[in-house]
């Protein structure tokens, strides 16, 4: 018996994600941090706080399919960040606060 992986609908490609820091009350604080792509296609984490950046570089983040993506995966990594957005770590494709 083999498991078939279902395809997810195609999405518009992204090249920029914004990370919003959240305080203990769930409010977005400070300016959003831009995560774009470098010329080599990797995600640019240079503006991300070092502890979080090191975790993402070492461990990556899970995408909607449960696969680990790392910054070197470029657009797939950015999409995984958008999918990961939650009340404590917010990611959006636009810099506007909500």
Query: Residue 46 is part of which domain span?
Result: 16-22+33-92
> Strands 68-69, 61-62: parallel, antiparallel or unpaired by DSSP?
antiparallel
Res. 11: pLDDT tops 80: no
- Residue 37: helix, strand or coil by DSSP? strand
Phi-psi region of 74 (alpha: psi -120 to 50; beta: other; left: phi over 0): left
Would you call 70 exposed, middle or buried from its count of C-beta atoms within 10 A (0-12, 13-18, 19+)? middle
pLDDT at 2: 47
pLDDT digits (tens, 9 = 90+) for 56-72: 999 999 988 899 999 99
Report field, pTM of the whole predicted structure over 0.75: yes
Tell me if 79 is assigned to some domain.
yes
Residue 10 in domain: no
pLDDT confidence of residue 10: 56
Question: pLDDT grade, residue 40 (50/70/90)?
Answer: very high
Token duo for residue 38: 């470098």
Cross-strand pairs, 20:
90
In a domain, 37, yes or no: yes
For the chain, what is the domain count?
A: 1
Average pLDDT over residues 91-97: 90
For residue 58, give Cα distances in angstroms to 4, 26, 28, 77. Answer: 29, 27, 26, 13
């Amino acid at each position: 018996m083999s498991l078939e992986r279902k395809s997810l609908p195609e999405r518009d490609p992204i090249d920029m994600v914004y990370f919003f820091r959240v305080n203990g009350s769930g409010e977005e604080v400070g300016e959003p941090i831009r995560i774009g792509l470098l010329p080599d296609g990797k995600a640019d984490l240079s503006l991300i706080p070092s502890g979080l950046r090191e975790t993402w570089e070492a461990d990556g983040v899970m995408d909607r399919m449960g696969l680990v993506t790392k910054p070197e995966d470029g657009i797939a990594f950015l999409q995984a960040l958008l999918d990961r957005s939650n009340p404590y770590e917010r990611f959006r494709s636009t810099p506007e606060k909500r």
